[in-house]
Structure 1
Amino acid sequence: MDSLFGLLRVHVQRGINLAVRDVNSSDPYVIVRMGKQKLKTRVVKKNINPQWNEDLTLSVADPNLPVKIFVYDKDLFSLDDKMGDAEFDVKPFIEAVKMHLNKLPSGTIITTVKPARDNCLAEESRVVWENEKVVQNMILRLRNVERGEVELQLEWIDIPGSRGL
């Protein structure tokens, strides 16, 4: 247990303009992976702008591992269709958590991550102090697909007894 830093809550908010994989829509769900961990949202039927609003919680033992996102279309009688993937680096977020900030006004921007070739951000992502917590909102542009984005929010959860940040 001592190799665990804490928990990363990934709030999978929504998909935006996802690819059509069935006749005129898709039944999308998201898989979030970090190292050997794999978590999945529910399927939203017939919707290319799904609202998942689901929290998936990853244990972070190695902050250098990227978090990978895969979007699939649920099919009943065949393999689920790929609807793109993305990944993001948790290091800027974890660096902000490590600052152990408190007593900041809610909404204070700690750091920003700009879209770049080596990330999947669709727009600038801000790490913000909000309601006594460090959170990061991001919109990821899906790769290996004609279109689509996924909106997420990260939140850090300290575990009593873990080595923490």
Structure 2
Amino acid sequence: MNNLKGLLRIRIKRGVNLAVRDINTSDPYIVIRMGKQKAKTRIMERDLNPEWNEDLTIFVYDTKLPLKLEVFDHDFFSTDDKMGDAEFQLQPFLEGIKMNLKSVPSGTVITRIKPSKLNCLAEESCITWRDSAVVQDLCLRLRNVECGEVEIELHWIDVPGCNLV
């Protein structure tokens, strides 16, 4: 299986106050990268506060690689404009998955991650045991742009025969 650890489902919830790249709006979409893999959302036309609520799934082979998120403005007649980026480590999330939490009540917060210079968090991120799964909600402040945040949620999918440890 080529060292596959499992699958990461990333729910792209929404963008908040994204940058203007056309006359007074943008046509944003998001690209997620981890190593050589990439997945992308649909384009949201003329929307600076898009609600994607879209799930992207990537294979996780190397748990030390950061997850990178980039926002672009789709243009028909020229190269798409960059609208910022963010990246973060999966380690805290994966540590939560390794805990045996079957008997813990749904809604229990496992870990809180504070915003710092080492991450792109706009606010504290909670890793929670919810509905028999470890879930992490993140609000990422975009870098290399004048404004914008993206809200996402991480879910782990176990793959039979693969082991996270």
Give the TM-score band, short-chain normalised.
over 0.9
Partner residue of 2:103? 103
Partner residue of 1:115? 115
Letter in 2 for 1:24: N
Partner residue of 2:73? 73
Structure-2-length-normalised TM-score: 0.98
SS at match of 1:19: coil
Letter in 2 for 1:41: T
Q: % of aligned pairs identical?
A: 59
1:72 is displaced (CA, Å) by 0.2
1:104 is displaced (CA, Å) by 1.2
Structure-1-length-normalised TM-score: 0.98
Q: Distance in 2 between matches of 1:100 and 1:47?
A: 42
Partner residue of 1:27? 27
1:163 is displaced (CA, Å) by 2.4
Please list, as runs of the form range in 1=range in 2, the aligned pairs for 1:29-108 lying within 5 A after superposition: 29-108=29-108
Q: Distance in 2 between matches of 1:2 and 1:31?
A: 24
Partner residue of 1:7? 7
1:161 is displaced (CA, Å) by 1.4
Letter in 2 for 1:156: W
Letter in 2 for 1:112: R
Q: Distance in 2 between matches of 1:99 and 1:11?
A: 22
- Contact kept, 8 Å, 1:2 with 1:162, in 2: the verdict is no
- Contact kept, 8 Å, 1:9 with 1:56, in 2: the verdict is yes
Q: Distance in 1 between matches of 2:12 and 2:100?
A: 25
Give the paired residue count.
165
Q: For structure 2, which runs of at least 5 residues remain unmatched after alignment?
A: none
